[in-house]
Amino acid sequence: MKSKFAVLVSLIAIAAATPATAQDLHACIDEACTIESILPQDAASGTPAADAAAATRYGRWGFDLAGMDKSVKPGNDWFDYVNGSWVKTTQIPADRSSYGAFAVLRDLSEARMRTLVEGYKPGDAANPDRAKVATLYQGFMDEAAIERADAAPLLQRLAPVKAATTKDDVAVLMGKSMGGFGASFFGPGVNDDAKQPDVYALYLRQSGLGLGDRDLYLDPKFAPQVVRYQAYVAQMLGMANWPNAQAAAAKIVALETRIAQAHWTRAQSRDRDKTYNPMTLAQLQAQAPGFPWAKFWTAAGIDKANRAIVAQNTAFPKIAEVFATTDLDTLKAWQAFRTADDIAPLLSKRFVDANFDFRSKFLNGQPQQRDRWKRGIGVTERALGEAIGRDYVALYFPPALEDQDGRTRRKPADRAARADRRPALDGRRDQAGGAGQARQFQREGRLSRQMA
């Protein structure tokens, strides 16, 4: 299953550890082929490991008294009384769009994970999980190999998109994107059953928006963002050698605007009762005709589920109609763009820069790209977090720190990481931002940059 913060069914490595020919773009790294290389498998050199950061201590009992502003009366503004000095003096790092205590914990965990990961060896037969982590991380850090490959990994993944001859083929590609790159009009995922919490359930949610939220398409105040988004779509399609990139970009934005009109609002999507609508595949086919549900179901790997809990149930027939009434070439161009956008952070510098300039800098106000090692740790953790986590817990949370009931305490940054992994309606972090988000961040004790 695919979500912004779930492990890919087919984990994608940037480079492998053993030599291979340039044609071996899909070489398997492990015996089960759960990790696949998108570049020739050259040995990569890493940077020297940084020492593990020491945990920040806040006073004697975990609270920073220096961050208070005692000139403010607590009855007038409790937040400013408790945090006022911290807000006034703290600068958001240039490689972040927001900052707060959880970000500090995240930085600590990143430094510690770097120490672990850079100590792993790709050929460690005695520790295969460590070998996978080392292969993935070192491959991401091998910029020379990535630059040589340039668009080749993307073009290879666009070949099935170009070869699609029917809308059924497009639905299959949407389903397969759940375990790789690309996107879908509908987003499946597994979670606790809201009304039977002792079992897991398959959920289906509205999706399909490259900007993440309907308001960015429909609210006139976001018109500059839509214009810039269309330019970005055309840029990505152009770099992917897609024909008629400018015209295709205009059609893609028009398509997503129609999907946005069908989407529920965020407030509606938070209603736990209205978003609980169990359906069998047959019921879904009857309620939302026009989309090849059976093809999608199988391609997404969810065909063993006998039902799905449909969240925005009244939106599904409308989105299915959008699919049915959109021409094949536009659907293919949409999937091509979403694939390019998805894989861009793993490709050569021109793709990375284009993606960063729009998604992070323009939409979220982040002035500077994060250091490559930090991005490498992020990629590796999302793909193989459990493997790293075992060593992390053993090193930083030994049995002496176990709770009295015998359960190991969660690592400090885990809650922050979980918050980062909380998907928006499209399965990605909210790109909207704005003053409302800034106020929310302030209430949570975070600083936030304004959206462009």
Q: What is the mean pLDDT of residues 323-347?
A: 98
Q: Which pLDDT belongs to residue 1?
A: 43
Q: Are 17 and 138 in contact (CB under 8 A)?
A: yes
The answer, yes or no, to whether residue 304 has pLDDT greater than 90, is yes
Please name the residues in contact with 175: beta carbons below 8 A apart, sequence gap of 6 or more. 184, 295, 296, 297, 298, 299, 300, 301
Within the chain, what is the greatest distance between any pair of CA atoms?
Answer: 69
Report the alpha-carbon distance of residue 103 to residue 74 in Å, rounded: 26
Place of tokens 């149930």: 313
Residue 316 and residue 406: Cα distance in Å, rounded? Answer: 45
Q: Report yes or no: 27 and 51 within 8 Å, Cβ to Cβ.
A: no
> Would you say residue 137 has pLDDT above 60?
yes
Closest CA to 281 of 263, 300, 303, 264: 303
Structure-token match 């999907």, residue found? 259
- Window from 15-24, 126-135, 201-210, 392-401 with minimum mean pLDDT: 15-24
- 413: number of CA atoms within 13 Å, CB side? 23
Helix (H, G, I), strand (E, B) or coil at 90: coil
Report residue 273's pLDDT band, with 50, 70 and 90 as the boundaries: very high
| Exposure letters 410-439 (e unless 16+ CB within 10 A, then b) | ebbbeebbeeeeebbbbbbbbbbbbeebbe
Q: In this predicted model, what pLDDT tens digit does every residue of 36-80 receive, in sequence order?
A: 443 433 333 333 334 445 777 666 777 888 899 999 999 999 999
Q: Quick: pLDDT tens for 350-366.
A: 999 999 999 999 999 99
**DSSP-derived secondary structure for 271-311:** -TTTT-EEE-HHHHHHHSTTS-HHHHHHHTT-TT-S-EEES
Within a 13 Å sphere around the CA of 381, how many CA atoms are in the beta-carbon half? 25
Residues near 439 by Cβ (< 8 Å), separated by ≥ 6?
Answer: none
Average pLDDT rounded to a whole number, residues 396-425: 50
Strands 11-13 and 35-37: parallel
CB 51 within 8 A of CB 115: yes
Q: Is the pLDDT of residue 309 over 90?
A: yes
Helical packing angle, 372-396 and 128-141, nearest 10°: 160
SS percent in the chain: helix, strand, coil, step 5? 50, 10, 40
| Angle between helical axes of 245-262 and 328-343 (0-180°, round to 10) | 90
| DSSP secondary structure of 307-358 | -EEESSTTHHHHHHHHHHHS-HHHHHHHHHHHHHHHHGGGS-HHHHHHHIII
Rounded CA separation 18/40 (Å)? 9
Q: Is 127 helix (H, G, I), strand (E, B) or coil?
A: coil
Pairing of strands 186-193, 196-206: antiparallel
Indicate the length of the chain as a whole number. 452
Mean pLDDT of 156-173: 98
Give the Cα separation of 300 and 180 in Å (integer): 10
Give the whole-angstrom CA distance, residue 187 versus residue 199: 20
**Helix or strand holding residue 131 (H, E):** helix 128-141
- Nearest 5°: CA angle at 240, between 224 and 259? 45
Instruction: Write out pLDDT tens, residues 182-222.
Output: 999 999 999 999 999 999 999 999 999 999 999 999 999 99
pLDDT at 3 over 60: no
CB atoms within 10 A of CB 225: 21
Residue type for position 139: G
Q: What is the DSSP letter of 360?
A: I
Model pTM score: 0.80
Percent of the chain whose pLDDT exceeds 70: 76
Interatomic CA distance for residues 97 and 102, integer angstroms: 13
